[in-house]
Chains A and B, each alone.
Chain A
């Protein structure tokens, strides 16, 4: 999967540093009310699937100096994910 390279305004839980990067799903965490809606006092429903996505540090940071298999795991909501190699605006 990869994270959409999008920069909408609002309250977002998708860190900038990972947008546009490809990773693998580590697990499905369940479905949770969408924080982007909750932040504006809306219900956040329907609940959105939330995944833990594992990225290789060397993919995320160009100059990463640790081991090539060092990772960073991040929780990403489904609507921020697209198939790897997909189009990114």
Chain B
């Protein structure tokens, strides 16, 4: 037994430290090999790889929230966003890269939720890296066939009067849910509203956050 274990008796497993994992998987080893070859052959530099990772890690749901908040205060922007997500992203200074953004609007009568049943397609450039549950087989296989039960597990109980629309992100589109603007925020600024557009509300497993009373 390790010294650490001597101090408290228990039998639950400890989380593995990131660096203490088992041997590399096949694909992890392949990634390392390909990356090292690309650097060795001068196709990419190690610094370029690092910068890309830094850029990806720096992205978060605040980017998508910027679009949502703008749509909440500007109905013309909202219309443009629903018809052409990419140019609406550009309007607020976001770079969509090669993907086409489809924004789906929640209404009092319809709730939208996003999944990628085939893999884990996700609008990373708007929301950052996807949460682990989004990539899990459990979520991917179940939300598409029993969305109401899955949403209930997330704490979202939808009334029977609301239609559920699941969007399976199978090809070249990426999706963002435009949540309903919370009541009681009529006088709020765009910046303040953006804090209510949480990651999960833009995936569709939650509503926008409830505002603190003024």
The chain A residues found within 8 Å of chain B, CB to CB, are 13-15, 17, 29-30, 32, 35, 50, 52, 57, 60-61, 64-67, 69-77
- A62 to B: closest C-beta gap in Å: 10
Q: If A52-B102, A67-B160, A67-B164 touch, does A72 touch B144 (CB 8 Å cutoff)?
A: yes
Q: Are B163 and A71 in touch, CB under 8 angstroms? A: yes
Given A15-B118, A61-B145, A67-B160, 6 additional A-B pairs, CB 8 A: A13-B170, A15-B170, A65-B148, A69-B163, A72-B144, A73-B167
Q: Are B165 and A13 in touch, CB under 8 angstroms? A: no
Say whether B172 faces chain A, with CB atoms less than 8 Å apart: yes
Instruction: Give Cα A71–Cα B144 distance, bound, in whole angstroms.
Output: 9
Q: Are A75 and B173 in touch, CB under 8 angstroms? A: yes
Chain A residue nearest to B111 in the complex (CB)? A70
> Which chain B residues lie closer than 8 Å to A64 at the CB level?
145
Q: Are A75 and B165 in touch, CB under 8 angstroms? A: no
Q: Are B170 and A70 in touch, CB under 8 angstroms? A: no
The chain B residues found within 8 Å of chain A, CB to CB, are 100, 102, 117-118, 144-148, 160, 162-173
> Which chain B residues lie closer than 8 Å to A65 at the CB level?
146, 148
Q: Which of A29, A60, A66, A72 contacts B172 (CB 8 A)?
A: A29
Q: Are A70 and B147 in touch, CB under 8 angstroms? A: yes
- B21 to A: closest C-beta gap in Å: 28
> Which chain A residues lie closer than 8 Å to B169 at the CB level?
75
Q: Which of B162, B163, B168, B171 contacts A32 (CB 8 A)?
A: B171
Q: Are A29 and B117 in touch, CB under 8 angstroms? A: no
Q: Are A52 and B173 in touch, CB under 8 angstroms? A: yes
Q: Are B165 and A73 in touch, CB under 8 angstroms? A: yes
> Which chain A residues lie closer than 8 Å to B162 at the CB level?
67
Chain B residue nearest to A32 in the complex (CB)? B172
Q: Are A50 and B172 in touch, CB under 8 angstroms? A: yes
Instruction: Give Cα A69–Cα B165 distance, bound, in whole angstroms.
Output: 9
> Which chain A residues lie closer than 8 Å to B100 at the CB level?
29-30
Q: Which of A60, A61, A75 contacts B170 (CB 8 A)?
A: A75
- B156 to A: closest C-beta gap in Å: 14
Q: If A15-B118, A65-B146 touch, does A73 touch B166 (CB 8 Å cutoff)?
A: yes
